[in-house]
Amino acid sequence: MKHSAVKAPLSTSAAQRNGVLFSLLLIALGVIGIREALIYTDVINGAYWIGDLFKRIDGLRIASWMLLAGVLLFVIGLHFIVTGLSRRKRLGWTVTATEPVFVTPTAATSTALAAARRVDGVLDVVAQAKPKRVTFSAKATATDDTVRSSVEQAISGRFAALKDAPKTKVRLRQKAVES
């Protein structure tokens, strides 16, 4: 069975979060509108909120706080536009296989860590994974090229199955072995 190109899993769009916030704002305005309608039809008693607001706005003159409010609304609007047009983050790396398979950076890095820890002369290894780069920091008994190349070879062997393997960087620190 031949699979069509499957896109890598992506994170939730920032525009989706903004849409939820905007929807909550509209729901709140709708609740206020329903409250006003219930007061108008004498179903409930209370003061009009919207009517009082319009009375206050009607006699309003230009004030310094209006400039700040306008700038704030402009910035919020720009934020919505930028987040709406921004790219979504990739959540996984594509594995070269006959079936569409993706692996998270954490899972791929943990297998590479396990392979690097098995290298002779390596005492401990930690890694920091980013979407396009993984940095490995290893404590070893020696910092010569033999240990470094063995660690790099073990790591690249684990990342070989990835379609777009991340760039890797290996840092070695020498640690004296306690006897």
Give the contacts of 33 (CB within 8 A, at least 6 positions apart): 50
The residue from 60, 85, 110 where one domain ends is: 85
Q: List the alpha helices (DSSP H) in the chain.
A: 14-40, 49-58, 64-85, 105-117, 145-159
* Cα 21 versus chain centre, distance: 18
pTM above 0.85, yes or no: no
Give the contacts of 71 (CB within 8 A, at least 6 positions apart): none
Domain tally, the chain: 2
Mean pLDDT of the region 77-93:
76
pLDDT reading at 166 higher than 70:
yes
Q: Is residue 58 located within the same domain as residue 105?
A: no
Q: Is residue 102 located within the same domain as residue 159?
A: yes
Q: Is residue 77 located within the same domain as residue 98?
A: no
Q: Is residue 79 located within the same domain as residue 100?
A: no
Locus of tokens 């959540």 = 91
Say what the pLDDT of residue 27 is: 85
